[in-house]
Amino acid sequence: MGPVEIVFIAVWVIFGVVGIVRGYRLELGVTTMLLIALFVLEFLSDRFSAQLNRLLTTQWQSIISSGFLVILTFVSYEGETLAFPGKGDNPAFSLLAGLLNGYLFAGSLWYYLSRANWLGLPIDMANATSLYQILDRLLPPAIFSWPYLILLAVVMLIMRVWK
């Protein structure tokens, strides 16, 4: 069971490194997109759960959520970037912004993949380590309901346009 959480921690750390390289102004744009994506997913699962459950199994819902998150993250990093205002690159802010994105992306992916039974991979959930159990409770979708996510996204957009 060990490598599962270690893999996600490694992804999280790599996002931090990517943050240092790209700079916090670009990273905060990705943060905004991730918050909006999570808001959409959480809002749909909260308000339209009955309809979604009729259409899809829980596993398929989680797989689609993971796919949506991966595609949106890829587009946010690769496509037109919602850069925040400011001058210069503060490495500490860049690292923190990268880690925040890593938490939102890797944490949410962990959440949805674990709900999809890890896509059938032979992972023994019964013998989960205490680290896994602790981190599992701190994942973004486990903590934030959609009102928090939309509120944070609005705060991000206000910061984006605030002169």
Partner 1 sequence: MVLTVLIALATIMAVFGVIGYLRGTTAGLMTTALIWGGLILAGLYSVQIARIVNGMNLAVRFLLAGGQTSGLGAIQPLIPSNSPGVTLLVMLGGSLLFSLLLSSLKSFRGRPSLLGLVLGLLNGYAVTGALVYGLAPDLAFLPMPFGFSNTTAEAALAAPAGLPGSDLWTRIPDTITNLAESPSCPVIIAITIAAFVFIAVRTGNRGKKG
Which positions lie near partner 1, rule CB under 8 A? 2-3, 6-7, 9-10, 13-14, 16-17, 20-21, 24-25, 28, 31, 84-88, 90-91, 93, 96-97, 100, 130, 133-134, 137-138, 142-145, 148, 151-152, 155-156, 159-160, 162-163
Q: Which is nearer to partner 1, 21 or 55 (CB)?
A: 21
> Smallest distance, Å, CB 118 to partner 1?
16
Q: Which is nearer to partner 1, 31 or 62 (CB)?
A: 31
d(CA 141, CA 130): 20
Q: Which is nearer to partner 1, 67 or 91 (CB)?
A: 91
Residue 98 CB neighbours (<10 A):
27
Q: Which is nearer to partner 1, 40 or 89 (CB)?
A: 89
CB 4 within 8 A of CB 123: yes
d(CA 86, CA 95): 16
> Smallest distance, Å, CB 56 to partner 1?
27
> Smallest distance, Å, CB 156 to partner 1?
6
Q: Which is nearer to partner 1, 61 or 102 (CB)?
A: 102
Residue 105 CB neighbours (<10 A):
26
> Smallest distance, Å, CB 21 to partner 1?
7
d(CA 80, CA 73): 12
d(CA 13, CA 108): 15
Length of the chain (residues): 163
> Smallest distance, Å, CB 55 to partner 1?
29
Cα dihedral: 45, 64, 75, 111 (round 10): 70
